[in-house]
Structure 1
Amino acid sequence: MSDRKDVIIIGAGPVGLTLANLLGQFGVSTVVFEGRDELIDYPRAVGIDDEALRTMQTIGLVDKVLPHTVPDQKIRIVNGDRKILAEINPTTREFGWPRRNGFIQPLVDKVLLEGLARYPHVEVRFGSQVSAFASDSDGVTATISTASGEEQVTGSYVVGCDGGRSLTRQHLGLAFEGETRSTRGLVIDVANDPIGTPHAVFGGDPSRGYATLSLPHGIRRWEFTLFEGESEEVAEDDAFVFSLLAPHVPDPAGLNIIRRRVYAHHARVAEKFRVGRFLLAGDAAHVMPVVAGQGWNSGIRDALNLGWKLAAVVQGKASDKLLDSYEGERREHVKAMVALSLNMANLVTDHNRLRTAVRDMAAAVLDKLPKARARLNSQGYKPMPKYDQGVVVPSELPTWKALPDRADAPRAVGTLFPQPTVRNEDGCSVLLDDATGQGWRVIVWNNDPRAFVSEAEAQTLAGLGGTLVHAVPASQLTWAKAAAAPGVRVVGDESGLLKAWFDERPFSAIVVRPDHVVAAECIAQELNDVLKKVFRAADVTLATKTHNSIMNA
């Protein structure tokens, strides 16, 4: 006889643990199986971005993650002569958090694991290797091998978060399309950082590419390009390792080396992210070179996109079709991140002296172009999520005379909604997501949304765990709060950033998904009809049930 869970997650890495925390918040019964006996305890990923920190905020763990980060970590890209070719130093807070941060992955993974103790309906089983799957119309039964024998657990859905060599992906027979680059790297992690400076350096040295990064708690990482003929055994060769480090520190032999490891640069994307009741996330679905620091962050984006959809489906609030939007929304963005990572890897690992000389000259020219320099400095080259399909309702520029004709007005649908600091109903300064709640949100500027949302749609939104939000200038907060309809949450725009965002657009109402993506935008009078379209795009099955319960009450 098997156990029954809503969701089975394979792999207790950062993606599986983040997804489990999200499902825990939604009350979804979940089990995570991990073949190892404990979490991996050595540093792997070293960069966490603002989107991922917002996800940590979403699952209520960001305060425990932040102590293990280096905020606003600057990157300097240099040539073989240590001349700075470019500097990447974004310091804005569009989504509420620093855009680039160094971090210690094992400590953050531990925070994610410990966070699951909040949810009695979520469990993690270490030393549990999945050996077989059997699926039918009712679910998937996984056979688990443990030290004490075999057991079976059945789930409505299985999510493979089991890494680049994913057994889940192999079980599905899915191709892992892409390449493994011939260039490999040697990672060396050192305690008691002998350099101590807080920034990172990427060295595009034609004699041997390298990177060196400051990490929290006195750890420093070096990564060196390995050449053909240099085997993995060089990692254990002290003389070789010390020769690599000699140009970087006064005394390589005196370093406290805590890790040495050779890795390959993979750039691959699974042909599908969903097959029936099976889904893939993180490295099981895509891998990319480490240079851009987006592999870990891309996996966290997967979890945030998938978590609310799985919860809605298993709880009967949306149809199974909603899960099809996961691959449609994530795959193209992942491919863009893989391309970015390959380009950055090529930039700093090229050993051709002619090409690197041309690169250096091009960098010198770009440095004299203020717009190009500013774009690079602000990390404007990073592809941001932009969903044109899935749970989005495309908008058209309005033709009403009350709105000036602005053909260049930016569109927000399919993009992440910003997160400025606002005042909540108690008058405290908090980040927007904390003031509004983390689920579905209908945010209306300068209007009580209940004036434009019908009772039926308001009940559907409430059934999805959503919130109606009235955004006003902070000076109007007390007045708006006193006049707000029941169930409407009021936030005060203390910085003016919310007003500026709406000022740029001919829309005053937006629908924001639980993953902070704008699903729709419109003027206030169109809100109810647009909200219905969003629910249809999300295949919400709750609307009819809710309406019938109201009529029968």
Structure 2
Amino acid sequence: MGEIWDVAVVGCGPVGLMTAVSLAMRGHRVVIVERQAAAYGLPRAVTFDDEVARLLAAAGLGDRLGDISEPADEYEWQNASGQVLLRFEWDTPGPSGWPRTSMFSQPALEALLAERARELDVTVRRGVRVTGVAQTPERATLTLDTGEAVHARYVAGCDGAGSTVRSFMDTAVTDLGFFYDWLVVDLVTERRWKPVNLQICDPARPTTVVSGGPGRRRFEFMCLPDERKEDLNRPEVAWALLAPFGLTPADAALERHAVYTFQAAWVDRWRDGRVLIAGDAAHRMPPFAGQGLCAGIRDAANLAWKLDLVINGHAGPALLDTYGAERGGHVRAVIETSIELGKIICVPDAAAAAVRDKELNADGGGMVITDLPGFPLASGLIRADGLGGRLCPQGRVAWNGRVGLFDEVVGTGRFAALAVDDPQAALKDDELAFCARLGVRAIRLDDTFDVDGTYRAFLAGAGCTAMVVRPDFQVFGAAGPGALGGLGGLVRDLRAALGGGGSPG
């Protein structure tokens, strides 16, 4: 039969690479199968938020992200007259300790992830196509167009919107019928822009003007109702649309132009036995909230630590069902928000735009937004106790003689039990033994450790004194003094929820 990999990942884009890297960091043998012979060298995604920056840093890219990205500390939405409708002010770090929004070029990020995969000895098979996916109770098998078979305990399909892996799963796609065609134009230019990111809500031509990462600029032009996208997707049309911004071939290089159809869709099932999907294979998201790639990276982070626990026998296979429950609910909430933002932007009618401008108080300077609402997990491996399902912030801590952000100083990839009182004294012997098996970090949140009071303030805001945080930085649950069994009750509930049978999955 040949070797059996722990996980076979189909697709070598950012989601596939992130999945592979996150698993390999935990000691698993991973192979990536990719139909393209070489990496795609043109831009696509251009933004990630502070939570995703934190996840990428946890994958080993923290000291390299600054080389390929630049913070976007301001984002204005203006009407046709240049009046501000919305202004996002993001000049302070987000809750995860990184810039709230960073702009980047996708090929640069993929190159970093590919380098990290090589460092971790991930095997990459390029130029081969998956033609079949089958499974037994013990393993999954990929059939390749070379006639070979790749066997693995699990398969992760990260192979894009036209996913081959998805076609072999028992799942359906829910499509909201939200379609808009936009011409996307990427330029290489050293010209500086202010604001860094701009949305022009002009009914004559809704237009997006944002950073594409250091030395790059992206323009997106909405295809109007009386236009054909085929006519829009030409270089001479791109330059004509760029001319009002003072851009010509003399001061910018046209790197790419393509018409994209923005969609809103998700799969009904993310898992079919030993086969799971992530990224665009599982959802399509309008770009108006800048969350397309972010959602895929969150998928990868969520899936990897759960596969790790199941493969190592620390959790039962049912844990993998929480992957789709958590990510599906989160993705739907983000897509719905993105659609609402799109409804503000995609208005080609002047009268309707005037009504919108009045509602957003354009005459009075528009709305100023300093933070975006979070999207807590509503179900899955969480405890419904107020903080369960929320993203845990990251603050500065002092640990073993070092002071810095928690992830850099304490580490990542494992559960953490954080308590105002000594967690060791709060746990019974069997609970401590469980924590030791799972590699849980148990830390007391005194003022020596919690330098800025970030964690104590987070707990106090919910009337809690202890919490258990998952490897993807989501809170499993929290408790106050004596509430629901305190920290010991949290640990017992986590042990029951994981349902580990003691044998590898």
The interval holding the TM-score normalised by the smaller chain is over 0.9
Q: 1:421 to 1:131 in 2, by over 3 A?
A: same
Partner Cα separation in structure 2 for residue 387 and residue 220 of structure 1 = 34
The correspondence of residues 52-451 of structure 1 with structure 2, limited to 5 A, is: 52-90=52-90, 91-120=92-121, 122-145=122-145, 149-179=146-176, 181-197=178-194, 199-227=196-224, 228-238=226-236, 240-249=237-246, 251=248, 255-364=252-361, 373-374=367-368, 377-380=369-372, 382=373, 384-395=374-385, 411-426=386-401, 428-438=402-412, 439-445=414-420, 447-451=421-425
For the pair shown, the structure with the greater C-alpha radius of gyration is 1
Deviation per CA, 1:474-497: give whole Å up to 9, x if none: 2xxxxxxxxxxxxxxxxx122232
Instruction: Classify the secondary structure of the residue corresponding to 2:244.
Output: coil
Structure 2 portions without partners, runs of 5+: none
Q: 1:435 to 1:299 in 2, by over 3 A?
A: same
Q: 1:493 to 1:255 in 2, by over 3 A?
A: same
RMSD (CA atoms): 2.1
The one-letter code matched in structure 1 to 2:494 is V
Instruction: Classify the secondary structure of the residue corresponding to 2:113.
Output: helix
Partner Cα separation in structure 1 for residue 245 and residue 377 of structure 2 = 44
- Conserved? CA contact 2:315–2:498, under 8 Å: yes
The one-letter code matched in structure 2 to 1:104 is S
The one-letter code matched in structure 2 to 1:511 is V
Partner Cα separation in structure 2 for residue 236 and residue 471 of structure 1 = 59
1:42 counterpart residue number: 42
Deviation per CA, 1:514-538: give whole Å up to 9, x if none: 1111112123553223211111112
- Conserved? CA contact 2:35–2:126, under 8 Å: yes
The one-letter code matched in structure 2 to 1:522 is A
- Conserved? CA contact 1:18–1:112, under 8 Å: yes
- Conserved? CA contact 1:71–1:98, under 8 Å: yes
- Conserved? CA contact 1:444–1:524, under 8 Å: no
The alpha carbon displacement at 1:423 in A equals 1.4
1:479 counterpart residue number: none
Whether 1:502 aligns to 2:500 is no
Give TM-score scaled by structure 1 length: 0.86
Q: Share of identical aligned residues, percent?
A: 31
Whether 1:533 aligns to 2:493 is yes
The alpha carbon displacement at 1:311 in A equals 0.6
Between the two structures, name the one with larger relative contact order (CA 8 Å, sep ≥ 6). 2
The alpha carbon displacement at 1:436 in A equals 3.0
Q: 1:150 to 1:442 in 2, by over 3 A?
A: same
Q: 1:218 to 1:184 in 2, by over 3 A?
A: same
- Conserved? CA contact 1:198–1:214, under 8 Å: no
- Conserved? CA contact 1:70–1:215, under 8 Å: no
The alpha carbon displacement at 1:261 in A equals 0.9
- Conserved? CA contact 1:191–1:218, under 8 Å: yes
- Conserved? CA contact 2:180–2:262, under 8 Å: yes
Partner Cα separation in structure 2 for residue 416 and residue 231 of structure 1 = 40
Instruction: Classify the secondary structure of the residue corresponding to 2:51.
Output: helix
Q: 1:367 to 1:421 in 2, by over 3 A?
A: farther
The alpha carbon displacement at 1:291 in A equals 2.1
Deviation per CA, 1:94-132: give whole Å up to 9, x if none: 111111111111101111111012323x31211121111
Instruction: Classify the secondary structure of the residue corresponding to 1:330.
Output: helix
- Conserved? CA contact 1:453–1:528, under 8 Å: yes
1:517 counterpart residue number: 474
Give TM-score scaled by structure 2 length: 0.94
- Conserved? CA contact 1:454–1:528, under 8 Å: yes
- Conserved? CA contact 2:72–2:197, under 8 Å: no
